[in-house]
C-alpha cells in the first residue's frame, strides 16, 4: 500500500433512490468521509448544458433529458475515486442500471412518501415530475412503480428521521460488509 492509498470499501460508489431520498446531500458527505471525489449527475448535466433541470424538461422534454443522463453516465463510468449521486430516474433505465451495477457498489436510499413530500416541498419547482395536483399521490404511485428497480441496488439504507451523519455511517458500514462478502 502506498502512502496515498487509504483503506476504503470501494472507489466508485453510486447512489440511487427516489427524489428527496437524500442522494445529493448524502453523496457529498459520503465522499467527504471516504476522501473520494463527488459528482451529482443533475448538476453535471446542468453545467454541461447551461440549463436547469426544470428548463431541460420544459424546453427539450423528458426523453431528451434521459438521453443526456445516459451520455453523462457513460462518461463518468470511466472515472476513479468517485461518489456519483444519480437522479431518481437514472437507475430506471436498464442500460444505466446494468453498467452502474457492474462498475461498483450501488447504494439505494429510502424514505417514506411523507418524508419525500416534506423534503421536496422545500424547493418547489425543482422537480418537474412532482408538479401538478396532489404531489403525495404522485409520489406514492411513482415510488411504488420504481421500488422493484431500486431494490436491485447492492446496499440499502433508510433515511427517514435520521441525521445525515448517521446515514453516512450506516452506508460506510454496509459498504465494508459488501466489500468483504464480494472480495475476489
Ligand atoms: N437525512 C436527512 N434528514 C433531513 N433532511 C435531509 C436528509 N437528507 C437530505 N435531506 C434534505 O432533503 C432535501 C432533498 O435532499 P436531496 O439530497 O436533494 O435528495 P435527492 O438528491 O435524493 O433528490 C434537501 O433539502 C436535503 O438537505
Ligand atoms: O426521479 C426522477 O426521474 C428525477 C429526479 C431528479 O433528481 P433527484 O432524485 O436528485 O431529485 C432529476 O433527475 C429529475 O427531476 C428527474
Ligand atoms: Mg439529487
Domain boundaries in the chain? Answer: 12-181
Q: Are the C-beta atoms of residues 13 and 82 closer than 8 Å to each other?
A: yes
Q: Is the CB of 24 under 6 A from ligand 1?
A: yes
The size of the chain, in residues, is 184
Ligand 3 mean position, distance from CA 183 (Å): 30
So what's the pLDDT on residue 3? 54
Tens of pLDDT along the chain (184 residues) come to: 555 678 999 999 999 999 999 999 999 999 999 999 999 999 999 999 999 999 999 999 999 999 999 999 999 999 999 999 999 999 999 999 999 999 999 999 999 999 999 999 999 899 999 998 999 999 999 999 999 999 999 999 999 999 999 999 999 999 999 999 998 7
pTM for this entry: 0.97
- Indicate if ligand 1 lies below 6 Å from the C-beta of 20: yes
CB 175 within 8 A of CB 107: yes
Instruction: Say how far apart CA 159 and CA 22 lie, in whole Å.
Output: 7
pLDDT at 5: 76
| pLDDT on residue 4 | 64
Please name which of 140, 135, 34, 129 lies closest in space to residue 87, comparing C-alpha atoms. 129
Q: Extract the C-alpha cell encoding 119.
A: 423534503
Q: Calculate how far, in angstroms, residue 23's C-alpha sits from the geometric centre of ligand 1.
A: 7
Is the C-beta atom of 22 inside 6 A of ligand 1? Answer: yes
Q: What is the best residue among 20, 28, 142 to mutate for testing ligand 1's pocket, by most ligand atoms within 8 Å of CB?
A: 20
Rounded-to-integer distance, Cα 136 and Cα 139, Å = 5
Residue closest via CA to ligand 2's atom 4 equals 88
Q: Which pLDDT value is given to residue 141?
A: 97
User: Which residue has the least CA distance to atom 6 on ligand 2?
Assistant: 87
Distance 2 CA to ligand 1 centre (A): 36
Instruction: Tell me what ipTM this predicted complex has.
Output: 0.99
Query: Which residue in this structure is represented by grid cell 419547482?
Result: 125
Instruction: Tell me which architecture the domain covering 12-181 has in CATH.
Output: 3-Layer(aba) Sandwich (3.40)
Q: Which residue has the cell 463510468?
A: 77
Amino acid at each position: 500500500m502506498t502512502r496515498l492509498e487509504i483503506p476504503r470499501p470501494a472507489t466508485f460508489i453510486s447512489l440511487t433512490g427516489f427524489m428527496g431520498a437524500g442522494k445529493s446531500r448524502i453523496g457529498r458527505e459520503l465522499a467527504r468521509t471516504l476522501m473520494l471525489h463527488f459528482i451529482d449527475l443533475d448538476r453535471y448535466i446542468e453545467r454541461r448544458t447551461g440549463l436547469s433541470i426544470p428548463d431541460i424538461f420544459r424546453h427539450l422534454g423528458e426523453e431528451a433529458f434521459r438521453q443526456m443522463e445516459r451520455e453523462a453516465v457513460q462518461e463518468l463510468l470511466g472515472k476513479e475515486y468517485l461518489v456519483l449521486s444519480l437522479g431518481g430516474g437514472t437507475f430506471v433505465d436498464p442500460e444505466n442500471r446494468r453498467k452502474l451495477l457492474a462498475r461498483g457498489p450501488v447504494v439505494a436510499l429510502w424514505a417514506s412518501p411523507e418524508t419525500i413530500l416534506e423534503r421536496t416541498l422545500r424547493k418547489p419547482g425543482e422537480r418537474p415530475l412532482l408538479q401538478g395536483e396532489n404531489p403525495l399521490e404522485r409520489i406514492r404511485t411513482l415510488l411504488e412503480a420504481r421500488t422493484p428497480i431500486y431494490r436491485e441496488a447492492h446496499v440499502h439504507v433508510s433515511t427517514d428521521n435520521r441525521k445525515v451523519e448517521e446515514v453516512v455511517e450506516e452506508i460506510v458500514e454496509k459498504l465494508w460488509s459488501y466489500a468483504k462478502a464480494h472480495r475476489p
